[in-house]
Copies of this chain bind each other. A is one copy, B any other.
């Protein structure tokens, strides 16, 4: 249990067996069926969530009820409404399961206590945030500076599994495009080689 969680943790900061057992006390497993919500807009995000198995999406709804996907999470990725989690304020994100999921949850009190008690947890979380921020900076730079074809290619290069596994209209939403436009971008790419 919690294999993926500790694998990811140990990639960043190596824990001893005892430390690992100690951290385990703070974790909660959770299963989610496809289409079930992990978090709904307006609720407070009570947990950060690491994906042991399955896939989820995070999205905002605009006035007209359109869904705009802001993030995906596959095995080993962490997801949640970070702002809502840190500040314990109502969430602006919705998060639901794209497939049946096995998750590891960490509550806000558990997070705060681990930050206090285990310096390695703070290191882990510092690196997690730094990596996440760097990845999002890269995405932002691509969004602003690359033409659509390049943006799509960059995405498939960076996350080939994601693009295989998730319906294309969701990739389109994530890129801020209509499904039709992404379909045309893809046909332009394949026809030009």
Contacts and interface: CB of A to CB of B under 8 A. Distances in A.
Interface of A: 60, 62, 66, 68-70, 82-83, 86, 92-93, 119, 122-123, 125-126, 129-130, 132-134, 136-141, 143-146, 173-174, 176
A68 B144 contact: yes
16 contacts: A60-B141, A60-B144, A62-B145, A62-B146, A68-B145, A70-B141, A82-B133, A82-B137, A92-B141, A122-B123, A122-B126, A136-B137, A136-B140, A140-B140, A143-B176, A144-B173
A139 B144 CA distance: 12
B70 A130 contact: no
A134 B86 contact: yes
Nearest to A173: B144
Contacts of A137: 70, 82-83, 136
Nearest to A92: B141
A175 to B, nearest CB: 8
A144 B57 CA distance: 15
